[in-house]
Amino acid sequence: MKEASSPLERPAHGSEASLRHPANGLAGSQSPYLLQHAHNPVAWSPWGPDAIAEARRRGVPLFVSIGYSTCYWCHVMERESFESVVVAGHLNAGFVPVKVDREQRPDVDELMMTACQVFTQLTEGRSSGGWPLNVFLDPDSLEPFFCGTYFPPQTAFGRPSFIELLGAVSTAWSQDRAGMADQARRIADVVRRQMALPTAGDAVDAAALGNEETVSQVSAALMRMSDPTNGGFGGAPKFPTPPYPRFLLETGTGSVDQVLRHTLDAMAIGGIFDQVGGGFHRYAVDATWTVPHFEKMLYDNGQLASLYADAFRRWGDPLHAETARRTCEYVIREMTSEDGRFLSAQDAEVAAREGANYVWTPAEARAELERAGCADDVAFAFRLYGLDGAANFKDPHHPDAPAVHVVRLSERPDALARVMGISDGEFRTRRARIDAVLLAARMLRPQPMTDDKTIAAWAGLMAEGLADASDALGVRHFVDAAARGISFVLERMRSKDGGLLRTWRNGTASVDAFLEDYAHMANACLAIAHASGDWRWRDEARLLITAAELRFLDPVSGAWFDSPATAPDLFTRVRSVDDGAMPSGTSSILRAMTALAALDRDTAMLARAQRAIAAIAPALREQPVAACGTVLAARRLVTALRETGSDLPA
């Protein structure tokens, strides 16, 4: 287990030049992402009332730049623009610059990302977004009037240079402030409509959303999206998007099973899975899962540990068990601190080189194996990981650097063993020996920065993954690690009124938790209860659900909000039911409610879940794939209603 070095002690991405600048308004932050910018010449402030008041006093726009600590293009834009004294001069003179860690404030990020998608649809004819997310706000209304993502230092990629953009925005604001305010209102009105509750449904909608017809529609749509050659959903870049395969795993049979197993196998043998160290990278940049974007996120690994554990329960495939096990072992080794808490992410780059810690040349691998006394394993290792073929990765940001290897398997381990003419046992033994040597050598290299803050929602997803793997594989210490991680959040991340706080770092917990924090924590408690047999965890789950209902449930409609009502710095309250990289807070809290209510035969809780689904059913019927987690929750609700003898709508 490791505790990451503090960015205060070792800034991960700021250049030596930037460190000579005095500290700006981010220096007191607990966010590693904000601290990475604490010595930029830009006069950054954190998001909050002081920055808003200053922009209103000066009569200038807020420039809000949103990212996260392991975001590669965030680092690029920092080096190119935010460390520039010239750029800083323009930003500081014409704007109040604000930095936001999207992992601390997912509500701000969700609102501004939705605005960016609206803005680009209106101005470019297609909706787009990403990080870094850069948004200009009217200081009075806090509504965005211009949105974008990465801007280069010189005109390129069909985009103006960042300085050109700043000049254009500043001129537009000074010459036509009323026009900019009107543009902000129009964008914000579209966002408000998207966040608004749809036309209310009725109890029939809740049941209909979970019936086999709707489930079949979602399954068929996912099948159409699937890549029959390489697995996964869609083309490059390839994201695991765990809610999709999880939906198919729970609902599919026949050809769905074949597609799902193909996807699980392709990810497990590809470069998106760290073959030497275990755990999953964020996504693959190609269609074959070979070259990853090298950052590792806790929430991906938690969900994928659950997915592979559930797959092993269903099919008994040793590859699925091995993938779940090695994912959990990686997290315990590198993403868990000595006090049991889970850390949030590992960076994609080392010393501005993407994937530098993970890639190999054949000469490097040979030297390490021979040094470790494994010369007889060199040929096996080269065949195993493709080191005997052409290199598969060339850093696009450093074209002069030689091509190197991202190690991956060409086939499933059992197929490779047959091709090599050795038993499965010998294959596993030799592979484990090689991995141990290469991992030990790799750990001596400069390591990627670890974002060492704890996020309640992500801790919940990881604890659930560990508990699911413990239950499926019979590994007791996995559920013990899950219990320690959740106990840290429950005991150390509390507000004065007893509510959850979202983040913890360096002894300080901060930011009132969001719906997803309560929801993922509740599901983790239920998974720990099941895996450990300690049913006191069910009581913790019930307390979390009750606390979430007090803070996020709309008493009028019965639907859920993502953000608390006490957020005066947002122009509208955030609500989303979309499942993407993570399941939505709505689908997750409904999953927890239906599971606990079924266990306890709590018909009142089932009724509240039924009402919440009915309130959003009209919108979900229009885009059920985007909200597949809520469709799955509705399916479970129908089952739970039958099992508890509750009345189903006619």
User: What residue ranges do the domains of the chain occupy?
Assistant: 16-195, 362-445
CA distance 294 to 309: 23
Residues 277, 251 contacting (CB under 8 angstroms)? no
What pLDDT score was predicted for residue 331? 98
Report, as ranges of residue numbers, the positions in the chain whose pLDDT lies below 70. 1-20, 197-208, 567, 647-650
What pLDDT score was predicted for residue 19? 53
Render pLDDT for 488-543 as a digit per residue (tens, 0 to 9).
999 999 999 999 999 999 999 999 999 999 999 999 999 999 999 999 999 999 99
| DSSP codes, 464-481 | HHHHHHHHHHT-HHHHHH
The answer for 421, left when phi > 0, alpha when psi is -120 to 50, beta otherwise, is left
Place of tokens 């990465």: 150
Q: What is the dihedral of CA 280, 541, 606, 581, to 10 degrees?
A: -20
501 strand-pairing partners = 512
What pLDDT score was predicted for residue 206? 63
CA distance 60 to 174: 9
Burial class (CB in 10 A: 0-12, 13-18, 19+), 519: buried
Euclidean distance between the first and the last CA atom of the chain, given in angstroms as a whole number: 55
Residues 592, 543 contacting (CB under 8 angstroms)? no
Q: Which residues, in sequence order, are CB contacts of 199 under 8 Å at separation 6+?
A: 618
Sheet holding 133-137, edge to edge: 45-46, 96-101, 62-67, 133-137, 144-148
CA distance 4 to 451: 7
CATH number of this structure's domain 16-195, picked from the four choices 3.30.930.10, 3.30.200.20, 3.30.920.30, 3.40.30.10: 3.40.30.10
| Phi (first) and psi of residue 336, to 5 degrees | -130, 130
CA distance 467 to 582: 18
The pair of structure tokens assigned to 276 is 């030497």
Alpha helices in 316-395 (DSSP H): 318-334, 362-371, 378-385
Burial class (CB in 10 A: 0-12, 13-18, 19+), 641: buried
CA distance 307 to 300: 10
**Amino acid identity, residue 246?**
R
What pLDDT score was predicted for residue 16? 43
CA distance 98 to 92: 11
Q: Which residues, in sequence order, are CB contacts of 110 under 8 Å at separation 6+?
A: 562, 574, 576
CA distance 31 to 105: 11
Residues 104, 511 contacting (CB under 8 angstroms)? yes
Residues in the chain: 650
CA distance 527 to 470: 10
pTM to 2 decimal places: 0.92
